[in-house]
Copies of this chain bind each other. A is one copy, B any other.
Amino acid sequence: MFEIRDKQFLIDCGEGTQIRMRQIGLKTNRMGHVFISHLHGDHVFGLIGIISSFGMLNRTADLHIHSLPELENLLKPQLNFFCEDLPFKVIFHPFNPKQSEVIYEDRSVQIKTIPLKHRVPCCGFLFEEKQGDRHIIREMIDFHEIPVSFIHKIKQGADYMKPDGEVISNEILTKPANVPIRFAYCSDTAYSEKIIPLIEGVDLLFHEATFLEEDIARAKTTMHSTAHQAAQIAAKAQVKKLILGHYSARYSNKKLFLNEAKEIFENTFCAEDLAEFEL
């Protein structure tokens, strides 16, 4: 799950997701949008349970599901049967996995798809915070007796002209806005340099690392990545931080993934159940 400016976005929904959500005490109404990267069970099977439980908890906010077009037909029979009296709407938003497109936008965030390379059509997601307002310096606003009605424009960068004609430069009245955060989620995918232009310089890249480099042959046939490859993408895209995840159950020691990736990209971390990363 990705949280930004008090909004929560769920990315993929394997079986047991609702159990994890209860563990972290998630409020049901705050998560409005779910993004499903591709239609393999480990990314989908938890959806019906979440929707059904939201219904029993009397959630009222609409739930938007962004996914490949087929998902609606797969889920509808179960929704109709198991969730017929939902107190909220479930709205499907299909996307085209062949090209990057904006699939969500509000005042503070824009979300784009990142076409990936997998056995089935699959997209990652790029979360981009929009440039926020500049921060006003309260003392200077008071000192220059700037009316409240003008504050909004000043936050957006305008200078202020006093009644006597004197111009106060915006730089005197404000401090720079926060640098917008960018987060890219790329799973499941084989090694693909095509994604680099889209994720260049992001603050955080989640990249799958299903295998270790010793099993690169298996990574190729199943169209997954190794930890080594994930780190290569991170290095080439000059991201700030890399998080690995989606490890195959065949490995018992996550440290091996971390060590392999760190040889190429130092600022790497391993995703674990319930782990939190702050930006």
Which A residues are within 8 Å of any B CB, using their own CB? 15-16, 18-19, 39-41, 44-46, 48-49, 52, 70, 73-74, 77-78, 81-83
- Specify which chain B residues have a CB less than 8 angstroms from the CB of A83 in the assembled complex: 41
- A15-B19, A16-B19, A49-B45 in contact; A73/B82 too (CB < 8 A)? no
- Specify which chain B residues have a CB less than 8 angstroms from the CB of A73 in the assembled complex: 77
A74 to B41, CA, bound (A): 16
A279 to B151, CA, bound (A): 75
Residue contact B48 to A81, C-beta cutoff 8 Å: no
- A45-B52, A49-B45 in contact; A82/B19 too (CB < 8 A)? no
- Specify which chain B residues have a CB less than 8 angstroms from the CB of A19 in the assembled complex: 15-16
Residue contact B74 to A78, C-beta cutoff 8 Å: yes
Residue contact A70 to B81, C-beta cutoff 8 Å: yes
A211 → chain B, closest Cβ, in Å? 15
A78 to B78, CA, bound (A): 10
A78 to B75, CA, bound (A): 8
Provide the main secondary structure of the chain A interface: helix
- Among A19, A45, A78, the one with the most B-chain Cβ atoms within 10 Å of its Cβ is A45
Given contacts A41-B48, A45-B52, 11 further A-B contacts (CB under 8 A): A15-B15, A39-B81, A39-B82, A40-B82, A41-B52, A45-B45, A45-B49, A70-B81, A74-B77, A74-B81, A77-B77
- 23 residue pairs of the A-B complex, CB under 8 angstroms, read A15-B15, A15-B16, A15-B18, A15-B19, A15-B49, A16-B16, A16-B19, A39-B81, A41-B48, A41-B49, A41-B52, A41-B82, A41-B83, A45-B45, A45-B48, A45-B49, A45-B52, A70-B81, A73-B77, A74-B77, A74-B78, A74-B81, A78-B78
A44 to B15, CA, bound (A): 12
Which residue of the partner chain, among B41, B46, B74, B81, contacts A15 with CB atoms under 8 Å? B46
- Specify which chain B residues have a CB less than 8 angstroms from the CB of A18 in the assembled complex: 15
A172 to B16, CA, bound (A): 57
- Among A18, A19, A52, A78, the one with the most B-chain Cβ atoms within 10 Å of its Cβ is A78
- Specify which chain B residues have a CB less than 8 angstroms from the CB of A16 in the assembled complex: 15-16, 19
Q: Which residue of B lies closest to A16 (CB)?
A: B16
9 closest Cβ pairs, A-B complex: A15-B49, A41-B52, A41-B82, A45-B49, A16-B16, A74-B81, A45-B48, A74-B77, A16-B19
- Specify which chain B residues have a CB less than 8 angstroms from the CB of A74 in the assembled complex: 77-78, 81
Q: Which residue of B lies closest to A50 (CB)?
A: B15
A74 → chain B, closest Cβ, in Å? 6
